[in-house]
Amino acid sequence: MRIDEAAEAYARHLADVRRLSPATVKAYRSDLAALAASCGDIGLPDVDLEHLRQWLWESVQRGEARSTIARRTAAARGLFAWATEEGYIPTDPSLRLIAPKRGRTLPKVATADTLDQVLTRMAAGAAQGDPLALRDHAILELLYGAAVRVSEVCGLDIGDVDHDRRTARVLGKGSKERVVPFGLPAQRALDAYVVRARPQLLARRTAGGSEHALFLGARGGRIGPRAVYDVVARELGPELGGAVGPHALRHSAATHLLDGGADLRAVQEMLGHASLGTTQIYTHVSSERLAASYRLAHPRA
């Protein structure tokens, strides 16, 4: 069996059996395609530890991030562990493959005042009645108000939102469903979009399949993550001084919740984190901000 053949079979296993998210499966596919290219024409049973180390060293030489190399290490380990269990290879060459330690990078967070200014400006633009402006305002209000992922927003259907209870049912990583609350500003923006903008966008649809989608693109189909990235980058990027994506709104929401005294486990549940340790990074963000304020304000700092 060739490496690329094994990689494709393993990717199907991740999607169909382990039910990992499409984004995770796509990333693993890309990593293992790079491994196959690095190893050349040798078969899967002929790959040894040195081949794997050389492949990772090539990533290091290209200046790839530690997190990327760590993910590639995990992809290789997963592939060879699976291949060993399935009997495709007699021994696992990745057992002694060591991943680099991930450096802790604090997420980029916007202040509450900054987000208030951005969303107020977007609300003023939406008031003019342009359907895309109404949609974009509703999306950013929901990204921040419910602390959801971009994939979760794009996957929402009309029936997933309870406007009376101000909750949305989202499908997170690993196909795990959860219900998240959102505030009155997000409700108002969503109501305005659904009533005034969505019918206009739906009328532009040229193909089927999007009639139940909540957020629609300019041509009437379900909006994709790339379009949401572009909106966030345009509206929030100048305020944060650089490239910024939808996750910045999720980071900001989590940090502001903890700053306001929310319970860490409640925030974990709202974000849909499997591990409390993932949520705890936002306590570090809050601590960093407190320390910065202390250094600026306290006379004996």
| Active-site residue set | 149, 173, 247, 250, 273, 282
Residue whose structure tokens are 């860490």: 264
Residue whose structure tokens are 């739906």: 202
SS3 188: helix
SS3 292: helix
* Strand runs labelled E in 137-261: 161-162, 167-171, 177-181
Exposed e or buried b per residue across 170-190, where buried means at least 16 C-beta atoms within 10 angstroms of its C-beta: bbbeeeeeeebebeebbbebb
* Phi (first) and psi of residue 160, to 5 degrees: -80, -10
* Phi (first) and psi of residue 177, to 5 degrees: -95, 140
- Asked if 83 contacts 95 with a C-beta cutoff of 8 angstroms, the reply is no
